Amino acid sequence: MIERYALPAVANIFGDVARMQRWVEIELLATEAQEQLGVVPQGIAAQCRELAPVVDQAFVDAVAERERVTNHDVAAFVDVLQESIGFPAGSYIHHGLTSTDVVDTGWCWALRDAMVIILEEMTELLAVTSSLAHEHRDTLMIGRTHGIHAEPTTFGVKVALWTLQLRRDEERLRNALDGIAVCKMSGAVGTYSNIDPSVEEYVGNALNLTPTPATQVVARDRHAEYMWACASLGTTIESIAVELRHLQRTEVNEVREGFTKGQKGSSAMPHKRNPISAETLSGLSRVLRGNLQVALQDVPLWHERDISHSSAERIVLPDSSMLAYYMVRRLTSLLTNLEVDAQQMRYNLDLLQGVVYSQSALLALVENGMSRDDAYRIVQQLSRKALDTKTHLRDVLVESLDVNLTHEQLRFIFDESRVLEHASKTIDAL
């Protein structure tokens, strides 16, 4: 992931130093478990832990140098670790294990930790959206379908629906967390041929990971589910971002992204104030969905495993984790600093001479005994007349010889409080 979107809280989980620190700990735990079984001589596990090297950049560089000989990253890692610990204790490192016992357990450990951080940030985002929804519970605005004025709604309702969708994404993230928080220490084809199952249990308990049946690798549907949760979250964030981009258009101008002192909207046009955060979020969501396709294609592997998934995962698993976290943080900031122009919302609501209440007029005529089709045609024609003559639909209805509505019915048709009487039910669901 490029540095621009790699925030340290998650990015640091996936660095080479952190990865090999996890590998060392997994190896040491496995050695401890083997010693309890009597497979490893007494005292060896303690020596391994005591003599284990500090995993820093120098250690990573040593592994990279060794890999130029082994052409195998885990074999190189084991060689350097064993050499650092020394003989005879070091000889028992990696005893009975295969590479993916260490790598897959390490991956699941890292992804689990990343998801915990993403979920913590989701809590902050949901607090912001819920607060914004309640704040604008009564902020009237026009609802739009197909981009065209439909009927009145409130900005609070709009944000409440975002909140409910984000909560569903939060649930998907939690399910993915449960699915990925596993480990396997079952050997070359998952049959525990050279390692007792209790080793897997010991390592899992120490790392708070659940042992799972596997081939040589943990089944990749778990990783695909993790990626789906990230991509789904990204898509929800994009749907919010697209809405904000439309609402910030000059012709609409109902919301505006916060604009800090000294900020420039354009290198050429000083008047510009662009929805840069929302546009950035739209773009990044495309990367998450693209990475999901990779994760889905990583599920079917040959027999007990091949490494066609491995190279791709080195890219998409860290990148998607970092992007999901970045996008939640960016959206939280965007909404925290969002400027909502209630006066402009009111102005836009009144733009179309009251024709946005056409359904209420249609229903009133039906209730007066007119057929629905006749009522529809009449209101359609009168709405067009209101727009063409810039006359409020109420006045056009009064003047029309085709309708016979009482003053009370006319008041009812254009009563905003009546139209939105139940709208806040969505906000009350938060």
Please report the pLDDT score of residue 37 as a whole number: 96
Residue 261 confidence (pLDDT) = 86
Position 69 in a domain? yes
Amino acid at 1: M
Q: Which of 329, 346, 363 is the last residue of a domain?
A: 346
18 and 107 assigned to the same domain: no
Is 421 domain-assigned?
A: no
Weakly modelled stretches of the chain, pLDDT under 50: none
Residues 240, 389, single domain; the answer is no
Boundary (domain end) residue, out of 346, 367, 401: 346
Question: Does residue 430 fall inside a structural domain?
Answer: no
Token reading at 210: 């659940």
- 427 in any annotated domain: no
Based on the fold, state whether residues 300 and 370 are members of the same structural domain: no
Same domain, 332 and 369: no
190 and 236 in a single domain? The answer is: yes
For residues 274 and 149, membership in a common domain is answered with yes
Please report, for the domain that includes residue 62, its CATH number: 1.10.275.10
**Residues 224 and 292 reside in one and the same domain:** yes
Give the pLDDT of residue 376. Answer: 96
Give this prediction's pTM: 0.95
Alpha carbon distance 331, 129 (integer Å): 10
Per-residue pLDDT, 237: 98
Residue 152's domain comprises: 98-346
Give a yes or no: residue 429 inside a domain.
no
Which residue among 72, 193, 266, 371 is the active-site one?
266
Q: Which of 146, 271, 407, 422 is catalytic?
A: 146
> Which of 411, 400, 338 lies closest to 374 in space, CA to CA?
400
Domain boundary among 346, 375, 400: 346
Q: Give the 3-state secondary structure of the chain.
A: CCHHHCCHHHHHHHCHHHHHHHHHHHHHHHHHHHHHHCCCCCCHHHHHHHHCCCCCHHHHHHHHHHHHHHCCHHHHHHHHHHHHHCCCHHHHCCCCCCHHHHHHHHHHHHHHHHHHHHHHHHHHHHHHHHHHHHHCCCCEEEEEECCEEEEEEEHHHHHHHHHHHHHHHHHHHHHHHHHHCEECCCCCCCCCCCCCHHHHHHHHHHHCCEECCCCCCCCCHHHHHHHHHHHHHHHHHHHHHHHHHHHHCCCCCCEECCCCCCCCCCCCCCCCCCCHHHHHHHHHHHHHHHHHHHHHHCCCCCCCCCCHHHHHHHHHHHHHHHHHHHHHHHHHHHHHCCEECHHHHHHHHCCCCCHHHHHHHHHHHHHCCCCHHHHHHHHHHHHHHHHHHCCCHHHHHHHCCCCCCCHHHHHHHCCHHHHCCCCCHHHHCC
Question: What pLDDT sits at residue 402?
Answer: 86
Q: Is 134 a catalytic residue?
A: no
Rounded distance, CA 430 to CA 427, Å? 6
Written as six digits, the tokens of 100 are: 């993916």
In a domain, 340, yes or no: yes
- Return the bridge partners of 141, or none: 153
How many structural domains does the chain have? Answer: 3
- Is-catalytic flag, 266? yes
What residues have CB less than 8 Å from 314, skipping those under 6 apart? none
Examine the domain organization and report whether 373 and 321 are in the same domain. no
What CATH number should be reported for the domain holding residue 372? 1.10.40.30
Would residue 182 count as lying in a domain?
A: yes
**For residue 45, what pLDDT is reported?**
97
Give the CATH number of the domain where residue 237 resides: 1.20.200.10
